[in-house]
Structure 1
Amino acid sequence: MAKREIEIRTPDGVARAGLFRSADKVRTGVILYMDAFGPRPALDHMAERLAGHGYAVLVPDLFYRAGAYGPFDAKTAFAEEKTRAELRALIGGTTQAMTMRDTGAFIEALVAEGISGPIGTVGYCMGGSRALNAATAHPDRIVAAASFHGGNLASDAPDSPHRNAARLKARVYVGSAGVDGSFPPEQSALLAETLRAAGVDHIIENYVGMGHGWCVPDHGVYDAAGASRHWKRLLILFEETLE
Protein backbone atom coordinates (compact mmCIF):
# COMPACT_ATOMS: atom_id res chain seq x y z
CA MET A 1 0.00 0.00 0.00
CA ALA A 2 1.52 3.29 -1.12
CA LYS A 3 1.65 6.36 1.07
CA ARG A 4 0.73 9.56 -0.70
CA GLU A 5 2.05 12.83 0.63
CA ILE A 6 -0.45 15.68 0.45
CA GLU A 7 -0.54 19.28 1.61
CA ILE A 8 -3.53 20.65 3.49
CA ARG A 9 -4.22 24.37 3.65
CA THR A 10 -5.38 25.38 7.11
CA PRO A 11 -6.29 28.78 8.59
CA ASP A 12 -2.69 29.05 9.82
CA GLY A 13 -0.66 27.71 6.91
CA VAL A 14 -0.03 24.42 5.12
CA ALA A 15 0.16 21.08 6.91
CA ARG A 16 1.80 18.08 5.34
CA ALA A 17 0.02 14.78 5.77
CA GLY A 18 0.30 11.16 4.75
CA LEU A 19 -2.75 9.59 3.12
CA PHE A 20 -3.16 5.82 3.09
CA ARG A 21 -5.92 3.88 1.35
CA SER A 22 -6.30 0.38 0.01
CA ALA A 23 -8.92 1.11 -2.67
CA ASP A 24 -10.25 4.04 -4.68
CA LYS A 25 -13.86 3.45 -3.63
CA VAL A 26 -13.32 3.86 0.11
CA ARG A 27 -16.00 6.15 1.54
CA THR A 28 -15.10 6.23 5.23
CA GLY A 29 -12.05 7.88 6.75
CA VAL A 30 -9.91 7.96 9.86
CA ILE A 31 -7.73 10.79 11.13
CA LEU A 32 -4.78 9.49 13.13
CA TYR A 33 -3.45 12.09 15.58
CA MET A 34 0.25 11.65 16.17
CA ASP A 35 2.13 11.35 19.43
CA ALA A 36 4.78 13.90 20.41
CA PHE A 37 7.45 12.51 18.09
CA GLY A 38 5.68 13.46 14.88
CA PRO A 39 4.88 11.58 11.67
CA ARG A 40 7.43 8.84 11.01
CA PRO A 41 7.70 5.23 9.79
CA ALA A 42 6.18 3.76 12.97
CA LEU A 43 2.99 5.77 12.49
CA ASP A 44 3.03 5.05 8.75
CA HIS A 45 3.04 1.35 9.59
CA MET A 46 0.05 1.77 11.89
CA ALA A 47 -1.82 3.83 9.29
CA GLU A 48 -1.15 1.22 6.62
CA ARG A 49 -2.51 -1.51 8.87
CA LEU A 50 -5.65 0.48 9.57
CA ALA A 51 -6.12 1.35 5.89
CA GLY A 52 -5.91 -2.34 5.08
CA HIS A 53 -9.26 -2.74 6.79
CA GLY A 54 -10.94 -0.49 4.26
CA TYR A 55 -10.47 3.05 5.53
CA ALA A 56 -8.77 6.10 4.10
CA VAL A 57 -6.34 7.09 6.84
CA LEU A 58 -4.92 10.59 7.18
CA VAL A 59 -1.84 11.24 9.35
CA PRO A 60 -1.33 15.02 9.54
CA ASP A 61 1.70 16.79 10.95
CA LEU A 62 0.24 18.73 13.87
CA PHE A 63 3.50 20.64 14.39
CA TYR A 64 3.55 22.18 10.92
CA ARG A 65 3.51 25.74 12.31
CA ALA A 66 7.00 25.18 13.75
CA GLY A 67 8.64 24.50 10.39
CA ALA A 68 11.35 21.84 10.23
CA TYR A 69 11.92 19.75 13.36
CA GLY A 70 13.28 16.38 14.44
CA PRO A 71 13.50 13.61 13.60
CA PHE A 72 13.20 12.21 17.10
CA ASP A 73 14.04 8.82 18.53
CA ALA A 74 10.97 7.82 20.54
CA LYS A 75 13.11 5.70 22.87
CA THR A 76 15.48 8.49 23.94
CA ALA A 77 14.10 11.92 23.01
CA PHE A 78 12.57 12.72 26.39
CA ALA A 79 15.67 11.45 28.19
CA GLU A 80 17.99 13.96 26.49
CA GLU A 81 17.86 17.58 27.60
CA LYS A 82 18.10 19.16 24.15
CA THR A 83 15.42 17.08 22.47
CA ARG A 84 13.20 17.14 25.58
CA ALA A 85 13.19 20.94 25.46
CA GLU A 86 12.44 20.91 21.73
CA LEU A 87 9.56 18.50 22.20
CA ARG A 88 8.06 20.52 25.02
CA ALA A 89 8.23 23.66 22.89
CA LEU A 90 6.49 21.89 20.01
CA ILE A 91 3.74 20.50 22.23
CA GLY A 92 3.25 23.78 24.08
CA GLY A 93 3.16 25.73 20.84
CA THR A 94 0.42 23.54 19.33
CA THR A 95 -2.70 24.10 21.37
CA GLN A 96 -5.85 22.01 21.50
CA ALA A 97 -7.73 24.90 19.90
CA MET A 98 -5.30 24.88 16.97
CA THR A 99 -5.80 21.17 16.39
CA MET A 100 -9.57 21.44 16.70
CA ARG A 101 -9.51 24.21 14.11
CA ASP A 102 -7.13 22.27 11.87
CA THR A 103 -9.44 19.26 11.97
CA GLY A 104 -11.95 21.13 9.82
CA ALA A 105 -9.28 21.34 7.12
CA PHE A 106 -8.36 17.67 7.64
CA ILE A 107 -11.99 16.68 7.09
CA GLU A 108 -12.16 18.84 3.95
CA ALA A 109 -9.02 17.12 2.66
CA LEU A 110 -10.69 13.73 3.09
CA VAL A 111 -13.83 14.99 1.34
CA ALA A 112 -11.65 16.17 -1.55
CA GLU A 113 -10.36 12.59 -1.76
CA GLY A 114 -13.90 11.26 -2.12
CA ILE A 115 -14.50 10.40 1.53
CA SER A 116 -18.16 11.29 1.86
CA GLY A 117 -19.05 8.92 4.70
CA PRO A 118 -18.51 9.06 8.45
CA ILE A 119 -15.11 9.73 9.97
CA GLY A 120 -13.35 8.29 12.99
CA THR A 121 -10.43 9.65 14.98
CA VAL A 122 -7.70 7.92 16.95
CA GLY A 123 -4.82 9.47 18.84
CA TYR A 124 -1.81 8.31 20.79
CA CYS A 125 -0.14 10.10 23.70
CA MET A 126 -0.71 13.83 23.07
CA GLY A 127 -2.91 12.83 20.14
CA GLY A 128 -5.38 11.08 22.42
CA SER A 129 -6.89 14.24 23.84
CA ARG A 130 -6.87 15.81 20.39
CA ALA A 131 -8.80 12.91 18.90
CA LEU A 132 -11.51 13.40 21.54
CA ASN A 133 -11.58 17.19 21.25
CA ALA A 134 -11.78 16.91 17.46
CA ALA A 135 -14.98 14.91 17.85
CA THR A 136 -16.48 17.62 20.05
CA ALA A 137 -15.58 20.30 17.50
CA HIS A 138 -17.01 18.39 14.53
CA PRO A 139 -19.89 16.27 15.86
CA ASP A 140 -21.67 16.29 12.50
CA ARG A 141 -18.89 14.27 10.81
CA ILE A 142 -16.91 12.41 13.48
CA VAL A 143 -18.84 9.40 14.78
CA ALA A 144 -16.11 7.57 16.71
CA ALA A 145 -13.11 8.77 18.71
CA ALA A 146 -10.42 6.70 20.39
CA SER A 147 -7.55 7.63 22.70
CA PHE A 148 -4.68 5.30 23.63
CA HIS A 149 -2.32 6.28 26.44
CA GLY A 150 -3.64 9.81 26.05
CA GLY A 151 -2.77 12.23 28.84
CA ASN A 152 -4.74 14.93 30.64
CA LEU A 153 -8.15 13.80 29.42
CA ALA A 154 -9.84 15.18 32.54
CA SER A 155 -7.42 17.75 33.88
CA ASP A 156 -7.81 21.23 35.34
CA ALA A 157 -6.94 22.80 31.99
CA PRO A 158 -9.71 24.78 30.29
CA ASP A 159 -9.26 22.74 27.10
CA SER A 160 -9.44 19.35 28.81
CA PRO A 161 -11.61 17.00 26.72
CA HIS A 162 -13.98 16.18 29.57
CA ARG A 163 -15.16 19.80 29.61
CA ASN A 164 -16.57 19.35 26.11
CA ALA A 165 -18.43 16.10 26.83
CA ALA A 166 -21.85 17.68 26.30
CA ARG A 167 -20.91 18.37 22.67
CA LEU A 168 -19.93 14.78 21.93
CA LYS A 169 -22.07 12.69 19.61
CA ALA A 170 -19.35 10.20 18.77
CA ARG A 171 -18.83 6.86 20.45
CA VAL A 172 -15.71 7.08 22.62
CA TYR A 173 -13.08 4.50 23.55
CA VAL A 174 -10.24 5.29 25.95
CA GLY A 175 -7.44 2.81 26.53
CA SER A 176 -5.17 3.89 29.38
CA ALA A 177 -1.77 2.61 30.42
CA GLY A 178 -1.77 0.60 33.63
CA VAL A 179 0.16 3.28 35.49
CA ASP A 180 0.32 6.66 33.80
CA GLY A 181 1.05 9.90 35.61
CA SER A 182 -0.51 11.90 32.78
CA PHE A 183 -3.85 10.14 33.26
CA PRO A 184 -4.12 9.08 36.92
CA PRO A 185 -7.10 7.21 38.41
CA GLU A 186 -8.82 10.38 39.57
CA GLN A 187 -8.84 11.71 36.00
CA SER A 188 -10.16 8.40 34.70
CA ALA A 189 -12.98 8.49 37.25
CA LEU A 190 -13.85 12.09 36.42
CA LEU A 191 -13.84 11.39 32.69
CA ALA A 192 -16.13 8.39 33.18
CA GLU A 193 -18.51 10.40 35.35
CA THR A 194 -18.61 13.29 32.89
CA LEU A 195 -19.18 11.11 29.83
CA ARG A 196 -21.90 9.14 31.59
CA ALA A 197 -23.67 12.32 32.72
CA ALA A 198 -23.53 13.66 29.15
CA GLY A 199 -25.04 10.48 27.74
CA VAL A 200 -21.97 9.60 25.70
CA ASP A 201 -21.60 5.98 24.56
CA HIS A 202 -18.15 5.14 25.88
CA ILE A 203 -15.69 2.60 27.25
CA ILE A 204 -12.67 3.40 29.41
CA GLU A 205 -10.35 0.42 29.72
CA ASN A 206 -7.23 0.06 31.83
CA TYR A 207 -4.43 -1.94 30.19
CA VAL A 208 -2.83 -3.32 33.33
CA GLY A 209 0.93 -3.74 33.06
CA MET A 210 1.27 -1.52 30.00
CA GLY A 211 3.45 1.60 30.00
CA HIS A 212 2.69 4.97 28.44
CA GLY A 213 3.31 4.43 24.72
CA TRP A 214 2.77 0.67 24.59
CA CYS A 215 0.83 0.73 21.29
CA VAL A 216 3.45 2.40 19.07
CA PRO A 217 6.15 0.03 17.77
CA ASP A 218 9.15 2.36 18.07
CA HIS A 219 8.53 3.21 21.75
CA GLY A 220 10.77 1.65 24.36
CA VAL A 221 7.72 0.36 26.27
CA TYR A 222 6.06 -1.15 23.19
CA ASP A 223 4.28 -4.37 24.10
CA ALA A 224 3.23 -6.69 21.29
CA ALA A 225 0.43 -8.40 23.21
CA GLY A 226 -0.94 -5.09 24.48
CA ALA A 227 -0.71 -3.58 21.00
CA SER A 228 -2.62 -6.53 19.56
CA ARG A 229 -5.36 -6.01 22.12
CA HIS A 230 -5.51 -2.32 21.22
CA TRP A 231 -5.93 -3.19 17.54
CA LYS A 232 -8.85 -5.49 18.33
CA ARG A 233 -10.62 -2.78 20.34
CA LEU A 234 -9.97 -0.08 17.74
CA LEU A 235 -11.16 -2.15 14.80
CA ILE A 236 -14.34 -3.16 16.61
CA LEU A 237 -15.05 0.50 17.38
CA PHE A 238 -14.66 1.49 13.74
CA GLU A 239 -16.50 -1.56 12.38
CA GLU A 240 -19.51 -0.72 14.54
CA THR A 241 -19.55 3.00 13.76
CA LEU A 242 -17.97 3.68 10.37
CA GLU A 243 -19.44 0.75 8.46
Structure 2
Amino acid sequence: MIIHNQVHDIPTPTGVMRTKVFKPQEQGTYPAIVFYSEIFQLTAPIERTAAMMAGHGFVVLVPEVFHELNPIGTVLGYDDAGKDKGNQDKWTKPLEHHDSDTQAMVEFITSQDYCTGKIGVMGVCIGGHLAYRAALNEHVLAACCLYATDIHSDKLPCEKGNDSFTRTKDIKAELQMIWGKQDPHVPDEGRMKIHLNLIASGNTFTWHEFNAQHAFMRDEGDRFDPALAMRVYGMAVELFNRTLS
Protein backbone atom coordinates (compact mmCIF):
# COMPACT_ATOMS: atom_id res chain seq x y z
CA MET A 1 0.00 0.00 0.00
CA ILE A 2 1.05 3.58 -0.65
CA ILE A 3 1.06 5.52 2.60
CA HIS A 4 1.29 9.09 3.82
CA ASN A 5 1.90 10.64 7.21
CA GLN A 6 0.73 13.59 9.25
CA VAL A 7 1.50 15.10 12.63
CA HIS A 8 -1.00 15.44 15.47
CA ASP A 9 -0.47 17.13 18.82
CA ILE A 10 -2.47 15.01 21.24
CA PRO A 11 -3.36 16.45 24.66
CA THR A 12 -2.48 14.32 27.68
CA PRO A 13 -2.71 14.97 31.44
CA THR A 14 1.03 15.73 31.43
CA GLY A 15 1.18 17.98 28.37
CA VAL A 16 0.95 17.93 24.59
CA MET A 17 2.30 14.75 23.01
CA ARG A 18 3.40 15.14 19.41
CA THR A 19 2.50 12.01 17.48
CA LYS A 20 3.30 11.12 13.89
CA VAL A 21 0.60 9.10 12.18
CA PHE A 22 1.39 6.86 9.20
CA LYS A 23 -1.60 5.45 7.31
CA PRO A 24 -2.61 4.00 3.95
CA GLN A 25 -3.40 6.60 1.33
CA GLU A 26 -6.43 4.71 0.07
CA GLN A 27 -9.63 5.75 1.78
CA GLY A 28 -11.09 3.22 4.19
CA THR A 29 -10.98 2.16 7.80
CA TYR A 30 -7.95 0.40 9.23
CA PRO A 31 -6.89 -1.08 12.57
CA ALA A 32 -4.35 0.93 14.54
CA ILE A 33 -0.93 0.16 15.99
CA VAL A 34 0.73 2.41 18.55
CA PHE A 35 4.47 2.10 17.98
CA TYR A 36 6.66 3.07 20.94
CA SER A 37 10.19 4.16 20.08
CA GLU A 38 13.53 3.74 21.76
CA ILE A 39 14.79 6.39 24.20
CA PHE A 40 15.88 8.47 21.18
CA GLN A 41 12.27 9.18 20.13
CA LEU A 42 11.24 9.53 16.48
CA THR A 43 14.48 8.81 14.63
CA ALA A 44 14.77 7.89 10.96
CA PRO A 45 14.90 4.11 11.68
CA ILE A 46 11.75 4.40 13.81
CA GLU A 47 9.98 6.25 11.00
CA ARG A 48 10.98 3.55 8.52
CA THR A 49 9.61 0.82 10.77
CA ALA A 50 6.34 2.73 11.18
CA ALA A 51 6.08 3.14 7.41
CA MET A 52 6.79 -0.56 6.90
CA MET A 53 3.94 -1.55 9.19
CA ALA A 54 1.52 1.05 7.80
CA GLY A 55 2.12 -0.30 4.30
CA HIS A 56 0.52 -3.57 5.41
CA GLY A 57 -2.80 -1.89 6.09
CA PHE A 58 -2.51 -0.32 9.53
CA VAL A 59 -2.70 3.17 10.95
CA VAL A 60 0.56 3.50 12.90
CA LEU A 61 0.93 6.15 15.58
CA VAL A 62 4.40 7.05 16.88
CA PRO A 63 4.27 9.27 19.98
CA GLU A 64 7.11 11.22 21.52
CA VAL A 65 7.50 8.96 24.54
CA PHE A 66 9.23 11.60 26.69
CA HIS A 67 7.19 14.60 25.55
CA GLU A 68 7.03 16.10 29.08
CA LEU A 69 10.81 16.23 29.34
CA ASN A 70 11.82 17.72 25.98
CA PRO A 71 10.77 20.46 23.56
CA ILE A 72 8.26 19.25 20.96
CA GLY A 73 10.04 17.62 18.04
CA THR A 74 13.12 16.52 19.98
CA VAL A 75 15.01 13.64 18.36
CA LEU A 76 18.13 12.38 20.14
CA GLY A 77 21.20 11.17 18.31
CA TYR A 78 22.54 7.62 18.39
CA ASP A 79 25.61 8.81 20.30
CA ASP A 80 26.76 9.13 23.89
CA ALA A 81 25.02 12.45 24.43
CA GLY A 82 21.74 11.11 23.06
CA LYS A 83 22.04 7.91 25.08
CA ASP A 84 22.75 9.81 28.30
CA LYS A 85 19.79 12.16 27.82
CA GLY A 86 17.44 9.35 26.79
CA ASN A 87 18.39 7.23 29.79
CA GLN A 88 17.93 10.22 32.08
CA ASP A 89 14.41 10.65 30.66
CA LYS A 90 13.71 6.94 31.10
CA TRP A 91 14.61 7.05 34.80
CA THR A 92 12.63 10.28 35.32
CA LYS A 93 9.19 9.61 33.77
CA PRO A 94 6.85 7.50 35.94
CA LEU A 95 5.10 4.53 34.39
CA GLU A 96 1.79 6.08 35.38
CA HIS A 97 2.46 8.93 32.94
CA HIS A 98 3.06 6.40 30.17
CA ASP A 99 -0.31 4.87 31.10
CA SER A 100 -2.09 8.20 30.66
CA ASP A 101 -0.27 8.72 27.34
CA THR A 102 -1.59 5.38 26.12
CA GLN A 103 -5.12 6.24 27.18
CA ALA A 104 -4.87 9.56 25.32
CA MET A 105 -3.87 7.69 22.16
CA VAL A 106 -6.72 5.20 22.61
CA GLU A 107 -9.15 8.11 22.81
CA PHE A 108 -7.61 9.72 19.73
CA ILE A 109 -7.76 6.48 17.74
CA THR A 110 -11.37 5.73 18.61
CA SER A 111 -12.39 9.24 17.51
CA GLN A 112 -10.90 8.93 14.00
CA ASP A 113 -13.20 7.88 11.15
CA TYR A 114 -10.32 6.11 9.38
CA CYS A 115 -9.75 3.69 12.28
CA THR A 116 -11.78 0.57 13.00
CA GLY A 117 -11.25 0.93 16.75
CA LYS A 118 -9.15 -2.25 16.91
CA ILE A 119 -5.82 -1.42 18.58
CA GLY A 120 -2.47 -3.18 18.84
CA VAL A 121 0.83 -1.94 20.23
CA MET A 122 4.46 -2.49 19.28
CA GLY A 123 7.77 -1.22 20.57
CA VAL A 124 11.54 -1.58 20.58
CA CYS A 125 13.90 -1.39 23.57
CA ILE A 126 12.21 0.81 26.23
CA GLY A 127 9.39 0.97 23.68
CA GLY A 128 9.08 -2.81 23.96
CA HIS A 129 8.50 -2.31 27.68
CA LEU A 130 5.97 0.44 26.95
CA ALA A 131 4.11 -1.86 24.54
CA TYR A 132 4.03 -4.54 27.26
CA ARG A 133 2.79 -1.88 29.67
CA ALA A 134 0.20 -0.58 27.20
CA ALA A 135 -1.26 -4.08 27.01
CA LEU A 136 -2.72 -3.38 30.46
CA ASN A 137 -5.18 -1.04 28.72
CA GLU A 138 -8.44 -2.88 28.10
CA HIS A 139 -8.68 -1.53 24.54
CA VAL A 140 -5.38 -3.10 23.45
CA LEU A 141 -5.80 -6.51 21.82
CA ALA A 142 -2.21 -7.49 21.00
CA ALA A 143 1.34 -6.37 21.74
CA CYS A 144 4.58 -7.06 19.87
CA CYS A 145 7.40 -6.43 22.36
CA LEU A 146 10.88 -6.30 20.83
CA TYR A 147 13.81 -6.79 23.24
CA ALA A 148 11.88 -5.02 25.98
CA THR A 149 14.18 -3.54 28.61
CA ASP A 150 13.64 -3.02 32.34
CA ILE A 151 10.67 -5.37 32.83
CA HIS A 152 12.79 -7.87 34.73
CA SER A 153 14.74 -5.32 36.76
CA ASP A 154 11.82 -3.27 38.15
CA LYS A 155 13.84 -0.04 38.14
CA LEU A 156 11.56 2.37 36.30
CA PRO A 157 9.80 4.91 38.54
CA CYS A 158 6.26 4.01 39.57
CA GLU A 159 4.02 3.65 42.59
CA LYS A 160 4.75 0.64 44.76
CA GLY A 161 3.23 -2.52 43.29
CA ASN A 162 2.49 -0.84 39.97
CA ASP A 163 5.61 -2.02 38.13
CA SER A 164 5.09 -3.89 34.86
CA PHE A 165 6.47 -7.20 36.15
CA THR A 166 3.99 -7.28 39.03
CA ARG A 167 1.12 -6.15 36.79
CA THR A 168 1.72 -8.93 34.25
CA LYS A 169 -1.22 -10.91 35.65
CA ASP A 170 -3.55 -8.05 34.62
CA ILE A 171 -2.63 -8.19 30.92
CA LYS A 172 -5.43 -9.64 28.77
CA ALA A 173 -3.95 -8.89 25.33
CA GLU A 174 -1.97 -11.47 23.36
CA LEU A 175 1.76 -10.86 23.73
CA GLN A 176 4.51 -11.57 21.21
CA MET A 177 7.84 -11.48 23.05
CA ILE A 178 10.94 -11.20 20.85
CA TRP A 179 14.50 -11.27 22.19
CA GLY A 180 18.14 -11.35 21.15
CA LYS A 181 20.18 -13.95 23.03
CA GLN A 182 23.25 -11.72 22.89
CA ASP A 183 21.43 -8.71 24.35
CA PRO A 184 23.33 -7.50 27.46
CA HIS A 185 20.38 -5.36 28.55
CA VAL A 186 18.15 -8.41 29.06
CA PRO A 187 20.48 -11.32 29.95
CA ASP A 188 19.49 -14.98 30.20
CA GLU A 189 18.36 -14.73 33.81
CA GLY A 190 16.25 -11.65 33.04
CA ARG A 191 14.50 -13.32 30.11
CA MET A 192 13.89 -16.45 32.18
CA LYS A 193 12.37 -14.37 34.98
CA ILE A 194 9.92 -12.75 32.55
CA HIS A 195 9.12 -16.07 30.85
CA LEU A 196 8.31 -17.85 34.10
CA ASN A 197 6.20 -14.92 35.26
CA LEU A 198 4.14 -15.01 32.07
CA ILE A 199 3.54 -18.74 32.53
CA ALA A 200 2.61 -18.34 36.19
CA SER A 201 0.30 -15.42 35.39
CA GLY A 202 -1.59 -17.37 32.72
CA ASN A 203 -0.98 -14.91 29.90
CA THR A 204 -1.57 -15.68 26.24
CA PHE A 205 1.84 -15.21 24.62
CA THR A 206 4.42 -16.50 22.19
CA TRP A 207 8.14 -16.45 22.98
CA HIS A 208 10.91 -16.03 20.40
CA GLU A 209 14.66 -15.91 21.04
CA PHE A 210 17.14 -15.31 18.23
CA ASN A 211 20.91 -15.24 17.98
CA ALA A 212 21.02 -11.47 17.78
CA GLN A 213 22.16 -8.42 19.67
CA HIS A 214 20.16 -5.62 21.22
CA ALA A 215 18.56 -3.34 18.59
CA PHE A 216 18.95 -5.91 15.81
CA MET A 217 15.90 -4.35 14.08
CA ARG A 218 17.46 -0.87 13.83
CA ASP A 219 18.65 -0.32 10.27
CA GLU A 220 21.52 1.95 11.35
CA GLY A 221 24.64 0.73 13.10
CA ASP A 222 26.58 -2.51 13.20
CA ARG A 223 23.98 -4.57 15.11
CA PHE A 224 21.39 -4.56 12.32
CA ASP A 225 20.42 -8.01 11.01
CA PRO A 226 18.41 -7.40 7.80
CA ALA A 227 17.31 -10.99 7.22
CA LEU A 228 16.15 -11.42 10.80
CA ALA A 229 14.43 -8.03 10.77
CA MET A 230 12.43 -9.05 7.70
CA ARG A 231 11.39 -12.27 9.42
CA VAL A 232 10.30 -10.43 12.56
CA TYR A 233 8.34 -7.85 10.58
CA GLY A 234 6.43 -10.75 9.07
CA MET A 235 5.72 -12.16 12.52
CA ALA A 236 4.40 -8.80 13.72
CA VAL A 237 2.18 -8.36 10.65
CA GLU A 238 0.76 -11.86 11.16
CA LEU A 239 0.00 -11.12 14.81
CA PHE A 240 -1.85 -7.91 14.05
CA ASN A 241 -3.66 -9.24 10.97
CA ARG A 242 -4.98 -12.08 13.11
CA THR A 243 -5.88 -10.19 16.27
CA LEU A 244 -7.09 -6.87 14.85
CA SER A 245 -9.16 -8.11 11.92
1:58 aligns with 2:61: yes
Specify which of 150, 153, 175 is matched with residue 152 of structure 1: 150
Residue ranges of structure 1 left out of the alignment (5+ in a row)? none
* Within-5 A mapping of 1:226-241: 226-241=228-243
Query: SS state of the match for residue 29, structure 1?
Result: strand
Equivalent runs, 1:38-117 vs 2, <5 Å: 38-68=41-71, 71-74=75-78, 77=79, 80=80, 82-114=81-113, 115-117=115-117
Is 1:196 the counterpart of 2:199? The answer is: yes
**Helix, strand or coil at the partner of 1:166:** helix
Q: Secondary structure at the match of 2:165?
A: helix
How high is the TM-score relative to the length of structure 1?
0.90
- Structure-1 residue corresponding to 2:119: 119
Give the corresponding residue for 1:183.
186
RMSD across aligned C-alpha pairs, in angstroms?
1.7
Q: How does 1:9-20 map to 2 (within 5 A)?
A: 9-20=11-22
What stretches of structure 2 of length at least 5 have no aligned partner?
156-160
- Distance in 1, Cα, partners of 2:186 & 2:108: 32
What TM-score, normalized by structure 2, do the two folds share?
0.89
> What is aligned with 1:6?
8
Q: Distance in 1 between matches of 2:89 and 2:222?
A: 21
Aligned partner letter, 1:133: R
Cα deviation, 1:214-235, whole Å, max 9, x if unaligned, reads: 1121243111011112112111
Cα distance in 1 for partners of 2:84, 2:129 equals 21
Q: Which residue of 2 aligns with 1:35?
A: 38
Distance in 1, Cα, partners of 2:201 & 2:86: 34
CA, structure 1 residues 193+63, in 2 after alignment: closer, same or farther (shift >3 Å)?
same
Asked if structure 1 preserves the Cα contact closer than 8 Å seen for 2:29 and 2:116, the reply is no
Contact 1:152 1:160 in 2 (8 A): no
Q: Aligned AA for 1:152?
A: D
What residue identity is the alignment partner of 1:24? Q
Aligned length: 235
Alpha-carbon displacement from aligned partner over 1:194-226 (angstroms, at most 9, x marks no partner): 212222111121111x11101121243111011
Alignment check: 8 A CA contact 1:62 1:94 kept: no
**Residue identity matched to 1:171:** E
